[in-house]
Chain A
């Protein structure tokens, strides 16, 4: 149980384009989903927390207009990287929890490369 999927697993795009990453909880309803990014050999950096049906809460330093998060249902959250630039190249990982205060289950991650 508690499986989280992400799509796509890998994406290469040109600078200036937008990329959408999907995060799905497959066998449970996720009240809360989290988006992280991870640079090589570094730990996870929380970008934002999203609750179903409400606006995402962004961490300090994360541009909400650049990283658009939508949590339209209890099983799906999307992260859209708008006008992507090479410095946005990273490993993006989502996680989901059953409810506030529950442990987080991570997706397999999406590797984004912006050329």
Chain B
């Protein structure tokens, strides 16, 4: 079983839709959760960074962590064509694995104008 599972998609939505991206994980020691956005042929860009459970909001983006279910989500409101990219979740427990991140496979998102 992989440490982190993420549906690769592809996901296609109309402009203005609410997008929900999700990852599940198996290691209960994970405490740090990140979402990265990667445009084609570019390096990943950090979008959201969350510690432990709860919600975090930044503009149109909301990250949720449910540690009891080992499930994290990224919501994008009022999606724009410029949001079209691959979204990667990443997580770590830092203390036991140093700073090693465990990545999902990424979900490819296309927002149609």
Contact = CB atoms under 8 A, between A and B. Distances in A.
A103 B100 contact: no
Contacts of A97: 99
A80 to B, nearest CB: 19
A105 interface: yes
B30 interface: no
A62 interface: no
B45 interface: yes
Contact of B98 (A44, A91, A100, A103): A100
B99 A43 contact: no
B99 A106 contact: no
Interface residues of B, number: 24
Interface string A4-16: 1010000000000
Which of A44, A49, A102, A105 has the most chain B CB atoms closer than 10 A to its own CB? A44
Interface in A95-109: 95, 97, 100-109
Interface string B81-111: 0000000101000110011110111101000
A43 B34 contact: no
Given A43-B88, A44-B88, A100-B94, A106 B100 contact: no
A106 B49 contact: no
A49 B42 contact: no
Interface string A50-71: 0000000000000000000000
B44 A44 contact: yes
A102 B99 contact: yes
Contact of B99 (A2, A49, A105, A111): A49
Interface of B: 8, 32, 34, 36, 41-46, 49, 88, 90, 94-95, 98-101, 103-106, 108
